[in-house]
Structure 1
Amino acid sequence: MTNLIEYEDANEEVRAVYDDIRATRQTEYINNFWKALANHPPTLRRTWENLKEIMAGPGEIDPLTRELIYIAVSVTNGCDYCIASHSAAARNKGMTEQMFGELMAITGAANMTNRFANGYKIPVDEIFKQ
């Protein structure tokens, strides 16, 4: 199991990232994902900056939809940690159990039809090409 770096055991570079996570998320909690990445501070910093920009930065996709997309990809990739953490974030942004059920149905259907399309090597219709 990976060593989880707590705030009080972290160096200055890690503490700076933890402080930014806390400020951005308006919480004192640092989850285990970030504590694990803190074993390599450049990866922690780079990953946090990327995720912060994508998940909390400006854009046309609303925060709940961003979380729903993250959950769907995490389900497809089989990442239990990401499913749990982003499901909690989505619930905090308004996701209901009905929405989660619909998301799972869409994710399952997309995975099934993607595999059919790839397996049959179905050519893309001209009308779909842009």
Structure 2
Amino acid sequence: MSLIPHLSDEAARPDVANVFNNARAAMGKVPNLFRVMAQAPAVLDVFWNAKGALGGGVLPASAQEQIAVAIASANGCDYCLAAHTGGARAKGVSAQDAADAQSGRASDPHVAAILTLALAVNADHGRAGAAALEQARAAGLPDAEILETVAHVAVNILTNSINNIVDTTLDFPRVARVTA
């Protein structure tokens, strides 16, 4: 059970209720993570607005989900691993690529380069700097994809951290961790 309670629909103020309604329309439910974040509406806003902005970026939705799977696995977030594995499958990612994303691998070399960068940023908070940029550019990633990858890592660190500290109640099918 979550260590911070889930906000009910009845207790949601109008702006939070709007996010809940949009989530329900997009996903068929309001995930428990949203209900936890809604205890601090500013946190829900940060997450919701960041996801909305990045959703309109240059990275395909499938790659966005694979980033989330890789970061969730690296950070030990079972909630995000479950949610984004399902999200990846819904965006057309094969079961094999969804599982491989946990280890930063993908059948598409371009996506594999994105995941390599994402895991490097997550591991050292971007301190690899020029070396990580050089490797990403050598793999064919343009600056927009590099910057969006970093932003996706940051958003996923936010959700992973919340879920890990709060122990958000899992409301997606559990996903087994893949060992490298």
For the criterion TM > 0.5, the same-fold answer is yes
TM-score scaled by length of structure 2: 0.53
**CA distance change for structure 1 residues 96 and 28 in 2, over 3 Å: closer, same or farther?**
closer
TM-score scaled by length of structure 1: 0.71
> Any stretches of 5+ residues in structure 2 without a counterpart?
106-115, 125-129, 138-180
**Other structure's SS at 2:44 match:** helix
Superposition map of 1:31-110 within 5 A: 31-54=31-54, 56-57=55-56, 59-106=57-104
Larger CA Rg, structure 1 vs 2: 1
- Alignment pair present for 1:21 and 2:23: yes
Q: Give the counterpart letter for 1:11 in structure 2.
A: R
Displacement of 1:105 after TM fit?
Answer: 4.2
Q: Give the counterpart letter for 2:77 in structure 1.
A: C
Instruction: Give percent identity, aligned residues only.
Output: 26
Whether the aligned pair in 1 keeps the contact of 2:34 and 2:44 (CA below 8 Å) is yes
> Any stretches of 5+ residues in structure 1 without a counterpart?
119-123
Question: How many positions carry a matched residue from both structures?
Answer: 113
**CA distance change for structure 1 residues 41 and 78 in 2, over 3 Å: closer, same or farther?**
same
For 2:41 and 2:34, the matched residues in 1 are separated by: 10
Displacement of 1:106 after TM fit?
Answer: 3.4
For 1:98 and 1:28, the matched residues in 2 are separated by: 25
**Other structure's SS at 1:9 match:** coil
Comparing 1-10 and 64-73, the one that deviates more: 1-10
